[in-house]
């Protein structure tokens, strides 16, 4: 037992060394790349779902596009508690406050599971009207209902996985997150053709494959907990609903949940607007959404590695280290976005055509939108670094506003107004326009943030930036 305890303590010290003392490139590579790879593969298996379901027809492809935002809302509950706790945990570790970090971790995990179960039950009770609200047409609704009944129930495992993803990353164990995501994703890719075609289960087969993969990812995290590899203890008796803990979790968690809800709303608005142009339009935009998600989730995964470094450095008042982490993260994420965006912008028709049996209208609509989104996603790295940075530093209001820009404050007015004056093109170019507006706003918010950090570095005893 003592040997195991010493091993755990050594493991914890190694993680703290990585967060606080390793060079920024080394820390970002160790923390960000595993999570980025995991998120990339996770996004890829969503794309594989679309690839195999697309072979069934445009209505089936439209069905999984309609259900997608509902799943994102449920998963948002994991982000509410997981991401909210992660920011606070990193700052607590930076201050050396392990006792309170344990309380935050336990509170976040058990709360996310409880609330997630309630939301899933409500979603199942009102499933049909929810799917219609999300843009399901009469021809899409039967397939969407079949897929959703299985997929939404399995989201309870995804709520656990997303919460653990954030907690584990916050303590510097990004490789565990990568392992959990990779294992589930690879399994899902292998099971999709088996259940969809070999067992002839259609869209239900896609949902079953996804459910099994989520269970396997959950088992990876449970093994991590039970083998006591974590810095933290996950004990129900440590759940502590004090004003301080809940306010810190919700200060970051609620903005993150709102971002997720806005993502779902934006997809639903696209589906509803595209519905007037037929199932091919919904299917085409659904493919674009998944393709763009591959890039955005990859960047988000990398920035998940940046966040604990930023939070730890801020908590320890290591401002030079924080500033270097920001610059390096912007550079690396932007290079990735430019390369990814160029591929989408240069070969849009060839890419979209892989997701249909030959629907020319779907290819035309999807390719036009994908080309524009490929160009605008080049700005995504810069935008995401700062929207995540504000949250990592505990600046919930600023982080909330900036994070809500891309698919809320900027996007919703554009998608509601532009199609009225520009028709289908207004739908296809709505997200790229919102991306440009969000990047401009980011510039004006980043400048005063750096000015404040410079002031704090000159006056170490100054009042916290979170006040």
More confident residue, 328 or 39: 328
Mean of per-residue pLDDT scores for the chain = 89
For residues 435 and 34, give the distance between their C-alpha atoms in angstroms, rounded to a whole number.
Answer: 27
CB count in 10 Å sphere of residue 405: 23
pLDDT at 6: 53
pLDDT of 3 > 60? The answer is no
**Is the pLDDT score of 467 beyond 60?**
no
Nearest to 160 by CA among 224, 232, 77, 67: 77
Half-sphere exposure of 184 (CA within 13 A, CB side): 29
What is the C-alpha separation between 309 and 281, in angstroms, rounded? Answer: 42
**Higher pLDDT, residue 312 or 339:** 339
Q: Is the per-residue pLDDT at 232 higher than 90? A: no
**Nearest-CA neighbor of 252 among 76, 79, 88, 84?**
84
Q: Are 41 and 182 in contact (CB under 8 A)?
A: yes
Q: What is the 3-state secondary structure (H, E, C) of the chain?
A: CHHHHHHHHHHHHHHHHHHHCCCHHHHHHHHHHHHHHHHHHHHHHHHHHHHHHHCCCHHHHHHHHHHHHHHHHHHHHHHHHHHHHHHHHHHHHHHCCHHHHHHHHHHHHHHHHHHHHHHHHHHHHCHHHHHHHCCCCCCCHHHHHHHHHHHHHHHHHHHHHHHHHHHHHHCCCHHHHHHHHHHHHHHHHHHHHHHHHHCCCHHHHHHHHHHHHHHHHHHHHHHHHHCCCCCCCCCHHHCCCCHHHHHHHHHHHHHHHHHHHHHHHHHHHHHHHHHCCCHHHHHHHHHHHHHHHHHHHHHHHHHHHHHHHHHHHHHCCCHHHHHHHHHHHHHHHHHHHHHHHHHHHHCHHHHHHHHCCCCHHHHHHHHHHHHHHHHHHHHHHHHHHHHHHHHHCCCHHHHHHHHCHHHHHCHHHHHHHHHHHHCHHHHHCHHHHHHHHHHHHHHHHHHHHHHHHHHHHHCCCCCCCCC
pLDDT band at 260 (very low <50, low <70, confident <90, very high): confident
pLDDT digits (tens, 9 = 90+) for 90-106: 788 778 888 898 999 99
How high is the pLDDT of residue 10? 55
Residue 91: what pLDDT? 81
What is the rounded CA–CA span in Å between residue 194 and residue 204?
A: 12
Residue predicted with more confidence, 357 or 121: 121
Is the pLDDT at 278 greater than 50? The verdict is yes
Instruction: State yes or no: pLDDT of 461 exceeds 90.
Output: no
Residue 219 pLDDT more than 70?
Answer: yes
pLDDT tens digits, 159-174:
999 899 888 877 878 7
Q: Is the dihedral of CA 300, 45, 270, 72 positive or negative?
A: negative
421 CB neighbour count, 10 Å cutoff: 8
Q: How confident is the model at residue 458 (pLDDT cuts 50, 70, 90)?
A: confident
The confidence band for 43, taking pLDDT boundaries of 50, 70 and 90, is confident
Torsion of CA 361, 362, 364, 366, to 10 degrees: 160
77 Cβ contact list (under 8 Å, min separation 6): 112, 115, 116, 119, 159, 257
**Of 58 and 333, the one with more pLDDT:** 333
pLDDT of the residue at 464: 45
Q: Which two tokens stand for residue 285?
A: 């935009």
Give the pLDDT score at 131: 96
Instruction: Give the Å distances, CA to CA, from 78 to 29, 108, 166, 195.
Output: 25, 9, 9, 28
Q: In this model, does residue 207 exceed pLDDT 50?
A: yes
Question: pLDDT tens-digit profile of 395-447?
Answer: 888 988 999 999 999 999 999 999 999 999 999 999 999 999 999 999 999 99
354 pLDDT above the threshold of 60: yes
For residue 44, count CB atoms less than 10 angstroms from its CB and return exposed for 0-12, middle for 13-18, buried for 19 or more. Answer: buried
Asked if residue 17 has pLDDT above 80, the reply is no
- Position 110 scores a pLDDT of 94
Burial class (CB in 10 A: 0-12, 13-18, 19+), 350: exposed
pLDDT for res 4: 45
Distance CA(120)–CA(133), nearest Å, equals 17
Q: Residue 462: which pLDDT band, with cuts at 50, 70 and 90?
A: very low
């Amino acid at each position: 037992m003592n040997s195991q305890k010493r091993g755990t303590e050594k493991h914890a010290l190694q993680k703290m060394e990585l967060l606080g003392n390793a060079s920024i490139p080394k820390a970002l590579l160790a923390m960000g790349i595993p999570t980025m790879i995991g998120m990339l593969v996770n996004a890829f298996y969503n794309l594989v779902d679309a690839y195999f379901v697309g072979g069934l027809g445009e209505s089936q492809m439209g069905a999984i596009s309609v259900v997608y935002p509902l799943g994102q809302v449920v998963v948002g509950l994991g982000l509410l508690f997981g991401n909210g706790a992660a920011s606070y945990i990193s700052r607590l570790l930076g201050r050396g406050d392990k006792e309170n970090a344990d309380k935050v971790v336990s509170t976040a995990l058990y709360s996310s599971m409880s609330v997630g179960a309630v939301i899933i039950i409500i979603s199942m009770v009102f499933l049909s009207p929810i799917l219609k609200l999300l843009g399901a047409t009469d021809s899409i609704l039967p397939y969407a209902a079949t897929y959703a009944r299985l997929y939404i129930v399995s989201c309870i495992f995804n709520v656990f996985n997303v919460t653990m993803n954030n907690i584990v990353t916050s303590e510097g164990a990004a490789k565990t997150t990568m392992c959990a995501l990779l294992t589930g994703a690879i399994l899902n890719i292998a099971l999709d053709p088996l259940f969809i075609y070999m067992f002839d289960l259609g869209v239900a087969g896609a949902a079953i494959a996804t459910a099994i993969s989520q269970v396997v990812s959950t088992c990876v995290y449970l093994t991590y907990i039970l083998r006591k590899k974590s810095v933290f203890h996950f004990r129900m008796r440590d759940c502590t609903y004090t004003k301080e803990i809940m306010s810190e979790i919700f200060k970051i968690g609620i903005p993150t949940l709102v971002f997720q809800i806005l993502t779902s709303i934006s997809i639903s608005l696209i589906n509803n607007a595209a519905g007037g142009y037929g199932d091919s339009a919904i299917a085409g935009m659904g493919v674009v959404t998944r393709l763009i998600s591959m890039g955005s989730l990859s960047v988000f995964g990398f920035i998940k590695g940046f966040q604990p470094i930023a939070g730890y450095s801020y908590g320890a008042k290591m401002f030079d280290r924080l500033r270097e982490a920001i610059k390096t993260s912007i550079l690396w994420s932007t290079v990735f976005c430019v390369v990814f965006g160029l591929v989408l912008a240069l070969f849009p028709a060839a890419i979209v055509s892989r997701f249909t049996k030959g629907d020319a209208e779907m290819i035309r609509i999807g390719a036009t939108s994908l080309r524009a989104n490929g160009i605008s996603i080049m700005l995504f790295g810069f935008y995401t670094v700062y929207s995540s940075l504000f949250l990592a530093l505990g600046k919930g209001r600023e982080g909330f506003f900036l994070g809500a820009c891309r698919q809320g404050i900027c996007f919703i007015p554009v998608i509601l107004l532009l199609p009225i004056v520009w028709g289908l093109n207004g739908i296809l170019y709505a997200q790229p326009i919102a991306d440009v507006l969000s990047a401009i706003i980011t510039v004006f918010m980043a400048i005063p943030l750096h000015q404040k950090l410079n002031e704090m570095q000159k006056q170490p005893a100054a009042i916290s930036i979170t006040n």
